[in-house]
C-alpha cells in the first residue's frame, strides 16, 4: 500500500526515506556476519505507536490525543515532526548518537484486530494466521547456517519456552531469567474485570488489591528487573561464545484504559532494558542490532477510559552501533479523519516484514531479496534498505 509521491512528507532529520529508499543499492558489509548480533524484542499486546513516537507535527494529533500531549513537552525530538515518549529517554540518547532508527506507520500483512492472530503472523512470517508452523527468526537462523554449515550459530530465546518466531528446524535454546519484567499490574486489572459480575470473587478481589497496595510499589521493582534483564541478555550474547541471535518478549502493551500512566510504565521498562543491554554489550554494541516490533497498533483516538483499542499501524525501532539512526523512516499517512485506516487507525504505509527483512539482511550480510523470500515468503513489497551505515 504505497501512497503517491506528492503526499509524502519529508520527515525526520536531514534525510527522509520513504518507499523511495527501497531503490537504494545494498551496501556491502565491511565485516563478516560471524561476529554480528541480533536481538529481536517483541512487544506483546499491540504497543501504541502514536505514544511511542508521537507525530507532534501532525495537526490532527491534538484532536485525537488531547491533554496527554503535554507529556511530550521537552521530550526528545526526532526531527521536527516526531517526539519520542519521555519515558524512552535512553533510547532518545541513542537516537541523538545516531544509533536508533524509527519506522512509523508500519504494519504486517494482518488487517484484523486479534492479538493472537496478529502475533502469530508477526512471528511466523506467514500471510495468513496459523498457515506457517515455524517462525521467521528460526528460518533466519537456518539461512545463516546454510552459509556456514560446520558452525551452526547459537540462537537463544530469553524465555522459559521458545516463542513461535524462533520455533522451527534450526536448533534454538532457551534461557529464562528468574523474573522477566512482568505485566502483573495489567493482569491484575484484567482479573478484576473478569470478576466484576461475580459478587463473591469481586469482593474478595477488592480486598486482595487493598492488601497488595499496602505492600508497596512494585513499579520500582519492575524497573530494576528490566535493567537486570537487559544486562542478562547482554551477558548471554557477548563475546565469541555468546548467542548470535536472540529474542525477548515484553508483555503488557494492551493499554485499553488509562494509557497515559500505563504506557509510560511499559516504556520505562523497555527503556531500562535496552539501556542496560546496550551498555552490557560494550564494544560488541558496534556489531549489534536490536529490532523492536509489535503485532499491530492502536486506535488513533483515545477511548472513553483514557485508553486505546486495537488498531492497525504502529511504530518499530532499530537500534545498534552500525545503524543509520537519528531518523524516522515513514511514508506518513496523516491523521485526518479521511486518512485514518477504516476511519479509526493509523494507516499502514510500510510493510513491517520489509523492515525486518531489510534490517537483518543488511546487518548480517544476506541478500535482501533472498532474505525476504525466505523469511516472509509471498510478499510483493521489497525489503527496506538504507538501514545500516555502509
Partner 1 sequence: MSKASIALNRFGYGLASGQRPPADPVAFLLRQLETFDPAPRPIAARTKTRGKTGEMLQLLRGLRDQMQQMGDPAMNDAGAAAMMAETGADDPRAAALAALPPDYRKKLVEARRVAIDDLAVRVNVAIASPAPMVERLVHFWSNHFSVSVGKPGTQFEVGPHEFTAIRPHVLGRFSDMLKAAVLHPAMLLYLDQFQSTGPGSPFQQRRRRRANPQGGRGGLNENLAREVLELHTLGVGGGYDQGDVTELARALTGWTVPGIGRVGRFAEDQPSGAAFVALAHEPGARKIMGRRYPAGGAEQALAVLDDLATHPATARFIAIKLARHFAGDTPPASLVTRLEADFRTTGGDLASLTRTLIASSEAWVPGPVKFRAPFEWFVAAARLTGIDGLEPRRIARVLNELGQSPWRAPSPAGYDDLAASWAAPDVLLRRSELAERMVQAVPADDVIARADTAFPGTLSDTTRSWLTRAESGRQALALLLVAPEMMRR
d(CA 170, CA 167): 8
In the complex, the smallest distance separating the C-beta of residue 374 from partner 1, rounded to whole angstroms, is: 24
| Residue 111 or 133 with smaller CB distance to partner 1 | 133
d(CA 51, CA 298): 10
Q: In this chain, which of 8, 36, 44, 363 binds partner 1, going by CB under 8 A? A: 44
| Residue 99 or 254 with smaller CB distance to partner 1 | 254
| Residue 14 or 161 with smaller CB distance to partner 1 | 161
Is residue 198 at the binding interface for partner 1, with CB under 8 A as the rule?
Answer: yes
d(CA 145, CA 48): 35
Q: Give me the sheet containing 53-54, strands edge to edge.
A: 53-54, 82-84, 77-78
| Residue 315 or 364 with smaller CB distance to partner 1 | 315
CA nearest to 355, candidates 334, 341, 372: 372
Longest dimension (CA), the chain: 65
Is residue 218 at the binding interface for partner 1, with CB under 8 A as the rule?
Answer: no
Report residue 213 as a C-alpha cell: 497496595
| Residue 212 or 224 with smaller CB distance to partner 1 | 212
Contacts of 283 (CB under 8 A, 6+ apart): none
Please, what is the angle between helix 89-96 and helix 259-281, to 10°?
Answer: 50
Q: Where does this chain touch partner 1 (CB under 8 A) — which range of 108-116, 149-157, 263-271, 374-382? A: 108-116
Q: How many residues bind partner 1 (CB under 8 A)?
A: 39
In the complex, the smallest distance separating the C-beta of residue 13 from partner 1, rounded to whole angstroms, is: 33
Q: In this chain, which of 252, 297, 365, 383 binds partner 1, going by CB under 8 A? A: 252
Q: Where does this chain touch partner 1 (CB under 8 A) — which range of 22-30, 44-52, 271-279, 363-371? A: 44-52
Report DSSP letters for 112-134, one per residue.
Answer: S--HHHHHHHHHH--SSTTS-SS
CA nearest to 364, candidates 142, 144, 166: 144
In the complex, the smallest distance separating the C-beta of residue 218 from partner 1, rounded to whole angstroms, is: 11
Q: Where does this chain touch partner 1 (CB under 8 A) — which range of 89-97, 112-120, 257-265, 377-385? A: 112-120
Q: In this chain, which of 112, 146, 151, 196 binds partner 1, going by CB under 8 A? A: 196
In the complex, the smallest distance separating the C-beta of residue 208 from partner 1, rounded to whole angstroms, is: 4
Within residues 135-194, the interface with partner 1 by CB under 8 A covers: 159-161, 176, 180, 182-184, 186-188, 190-191, 193-194
CA nearest to 118, candidates 55, 181, 187, 165: 165
CB environment 238-259: b (16+ within 10 A), e (fewer) = beeebbbbbbbbbbbbbbbbeb
Beta bridge partners of 388: 323
CA nearest to 364, candidates 158, 148, 173: 148
In the complex, the smallest distance separating the C-beta of residue 294 from partner 1, rounded to whole angstroms, is: 10
Is residue 212 at the binding interface for partner 1, with CB under 8 A as the rule?
Answer: yes
CA nearest to 347, candidates 98, 92, 104, 148: 104
| Residue 56 or 208 with smaller CB distance to partner 1 | 208
Binding mask 270-299 for partner 1 (x = CB under 8 A): ------------------------------
In the complex, the smallest distance separating the C-beta of residue 276 from partner 1, rounded to whole angstroms, is: 21
Is residue 227 at the binding interface for partner 1, with CB under 8 A as the rule?
Answer: no
Is residue 331 at the binding interface for partner 1, with CB under 8 A as the rule?
Answer: no
Q: In this chain, which of 3, 51, 108, 119 binds partner 1, going by CB under 8 A? A: 119
Q: What is the DSSP letter of 346?
A: P
Strand-strand pairing, 327-329 and 288-294: unpaired
- Intra-chain end-to-end CA distance of the chain, in Å: 28
In the complex, the smallest distance separating the C-beta of residue 357 from partner 1, rounded to whole angstroms, is: 24
Contacts of 261 (CB under 8 A, 6+ apart): none
| Residue 254 or 353 with smaller CB distance to partner 1 | 254
Other Cβ atoms less than 10 A from the Cβ of 189: the count is: 16
Contact residues toward partner 1 (CB under 8 A) are 44-46, 114-116, 119, 159-161, 176, 180, 182-184, 186-188, 190-191, 193-198, 200-201, 204-205, 207-208, 211-212, 251-254, 256
Amino acid at each position: 500500500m504505497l501512497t503517491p509521491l506528492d503526499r509524502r512528507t519529508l520527515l525526520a532529520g536531514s534525510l527522509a526515506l520513504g518507499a523511495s529508499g527501497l531503490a537504494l543499492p545494498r551496501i556491502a558489509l565491511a565485516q563478516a556476519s560471524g561476529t554480528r548480533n541480533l536481538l529481536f524484542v517483541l512487544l506483546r499486546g499491540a504497543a501504541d505507536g502514536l505514544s511511542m513516537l508521537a507525530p507532534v507535527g501532525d495537526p490532527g494529533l491534538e484532536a485525537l490525543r488531547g491533554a496527554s500531549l503535554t507529556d511530550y513537552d521537552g521530550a526528545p525530538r526526532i526531527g521536527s515532526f516526531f517526539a519520542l515518549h519521555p519515558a524512552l529517554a535512553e533510547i532518545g540518547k541513542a537516537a541523538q548518537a545516531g544509533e536508533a532508527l524509527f519506522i512509523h506507520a508500519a504494519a504486517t500483512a494482518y488487517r484484523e484486530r486479534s492479538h493472537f492472530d496478529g502475533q502469530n503472523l508477526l512471528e511466523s512470517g506467514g500471510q495468513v494466521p496459523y498457515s506457517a508452523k515455524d517462525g521467521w527468526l528460526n528460518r533466519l537462523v537456518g539461512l545463516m547456517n546454510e552459509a556456514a554449515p560446520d558452525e551452526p550459530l547459537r540462537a537463544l530465546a530469553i524465555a522459559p519456552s521458545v516463542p513461535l518466531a524462533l520455533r522451527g528446524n534450526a536448533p534454538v535454546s532457551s534461557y529464562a531469567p528468574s523474573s522477566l519484567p512482568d505485566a502483573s499490574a495489567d493482569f491484575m486489572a484484567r482479573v478484576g474485570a473478569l470478576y466484576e459480575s461475580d459478587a463473591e470473587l469481586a469482593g474478595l478481589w477488592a480486598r486482595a488489591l487493598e492488601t497488595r497496595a499496602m505492600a508497596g510499589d512494585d513499579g520500582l521493582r519492575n524497573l530494576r528487573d528490566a535493567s537486570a534483564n537487559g544486562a542478562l541478555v547482554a551477558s548471554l550474547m557477548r563475546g565469541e561464545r555468546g548467542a548470535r541471535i536472540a529474542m525477548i518478549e515484553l508483555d503488557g502493551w494492551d493499554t485499553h484504559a488509562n494509557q497515559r500512566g500505563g504506557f509510560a510504565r511499559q516504556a520505562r521498562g523497555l527503556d531500562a532494558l535496552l539501556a542496560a543491554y546496550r551498555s552490557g554489550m560494550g564494544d560488541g554494541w558496534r556489531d549489534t542490532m536490536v529490532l523492536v516490533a509489535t503485532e499491530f497498533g492502536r486506535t488513533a483516538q483515545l477511548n472513553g477510559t483514557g485508553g486505546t483499542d486495537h488498531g492497525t499501524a504502529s511504530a518499530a525501532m532499530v537500534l545498534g552501533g552500525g545503524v543509520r539512526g537519528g531518523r524516522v523512516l515513514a511514508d506518513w499517512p496523516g491523521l485526518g479523519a479521511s486518512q485514518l485506516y477504516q476511519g479509526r487507525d493509523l494507516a499502514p504505509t510500510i510493510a513491517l516484514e520489509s523492515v525486518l527483512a531489510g534490517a537483518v539482511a543488511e546487518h548480517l550480510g544476506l541478500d535482501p531479496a533472498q532474505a525476504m523470500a525466505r523469511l516472509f515468503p509471498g510478499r510483493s513489497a521489497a525489503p527496506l534498505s538504507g538501514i545500516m551505515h555502509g
